[in-house]
């Protein structure tokens, strides 16, 4: 019985350490996402919205504009070529960030 109790206590300790490590990783992911958002905003301000989107978008990125879905980096580039947004400044700061426990999904 004594060994069972010791084993349970060790298991609880391992799980709690893993949970704490997981919380630390989530906080690191959140900080990384916020910094990427800030970098995107700085680039949009300095070089323009099109440059910022094309710098940070993946090749299979999707934008929703109105009721139109724009699929892929090339289509996004074409979309911005057709827009007259040179006078528009895009500025923001993320208010919050949420990251999944696995760290593979985040939103701001």
Domain ranges of the chain: 2-107
CA 25: distance to chain centroid? 14
Geometric angle at alpha carbon 38, from 32 and 40, rounded to 5°:
105
- Please report the pLDDT score of residue 24 as a whole number: 87
User: Could you give phi then psi for residue 91, rounded to 5 degrees?
Assistant: -135, 135
- Please report the pLDDT score of residue 21 as a whole number: 53
Q: Is the pLDDT of residue 86 over 80?
A: no
pTM of the model: 0.71
pLDDT band at 93 (very low <50, low <70, confident <90, very high): confident
Task: Quick: pLDDT tens for 11-62.
Answer: 555 555 555 558 889 999 999 999 999 999 999 889 988 899 999 999 999 9
């Amino acid at each position: 019985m004594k060994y069972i109790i010791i084993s349970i206590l060790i298991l609880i300790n391992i799980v709690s350490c893993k949970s704490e490590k997981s919380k630390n990783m989530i906080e690191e992911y959140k900080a990384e996402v916020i910094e990427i958002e800030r970098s995107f905003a700085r680039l949009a301000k300095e070089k323009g919205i099109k440059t910022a989107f094309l710098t940070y978008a993946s090749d299979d990125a999707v934008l929703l504009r109105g009721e139109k879905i724009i699929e892929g980096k090339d289509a996004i580039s074409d979309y911005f070529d057709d827009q007259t947004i040179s006078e528009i400044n895009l500025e923001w700061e993320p208010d919050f960030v949420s990251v999944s426990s696995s760290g593979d999904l985040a939103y701001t």
